[in-house]
Amino acid sequence: PETLQRTGSFKFRGAYNKLSSLSDEERSRGVVAFSSGNHAQGVAASAAMFGVKAVIAMPTDAPAMKVGNVRKMGAVVVPFDRFRDDRMTVVRPYIERGMVLVPPFDDPAIIAGQGTIGLELMAQAQALGVSLDAVVIPCGGGGLSSGISIAVKDASPATAVWAVEPEHFDDTCRSLARGARVSIEPGHNSICDALLTTEPGAVTFEINRRNLAGGIAVSD
């Protein structure tokens, strides 16, 4: 289970893959990211392993434990208000200084990293002689669902892949139903603090639109 992954989340996979794909020159400039917690920890851990400077913008209501973990791994935390501040505006000064942005989901290297879960899942199913009817994936910005869906549909086209979201953050569900990206009005909250995205990624949505059977919104 991904709870046993480094940092306790699958997000390490994508972050490490992204940093692995950077040139030595890019890594020398440092990396910057924005995240409510899990991606932040993945980037901080990966940056520490590569000896790369990391600056991470985190919302003021992010779990204190995750903020503390990011700092312990050596990253600089820049707090922002998720309801008032635009996260890209917060990190833009660091990008302009030359730091490389490590997006939480809308990036091919991030998607590929998360998708390794799908490769492992299908390999295990094959080893057990099991045919999967469906794969259900928690969804925020869509990096995990898009990455896993690529691996699953390649190995087993008949397997249905579903995205599951908190009911007030069901942007992917609504977008799939409409056939275009939909934004959710801010102001809600959920115990699923890692799934509080308000709009699916441009890259992830195109993949999910092709591969997913649909989306499911559930209450806390």
Q: Is the model's pLDDT at 187 over the cut of 90? A: no
Q: Residue 193 — very low, low, confident or very high, per pLDDT cuts 50/70/90? A: confident
pLDDT tens per residue across span 27-81? 999 999 999 899 999 999 999 999 999 999 999 999 999 999 999 999 999 999 9
pTM (predicted TM-score): 0.93
Residue 136 forms beta bridges with which residues? 162
**What is d(CA 129, CA 143) in angstroms, rounded to the nearest whole number?**
28
Are both 2-101 and 108-218 of the same fold? Answer: yes
Fold of 2-101: Rossmann fold (3.40.50)
Architecture, CATH, for domain 108-218: 3-Layer(aba) Sandwich (3.40)
Q: In angstroms, rounded to a whole number, what is the distance separating the alpha carbons of residues 53 and 95?
A: 13
Per-residue pLDDT tens digits for 117-155: 999 999 999 999 999 999 999 999 999 999 999 999 999
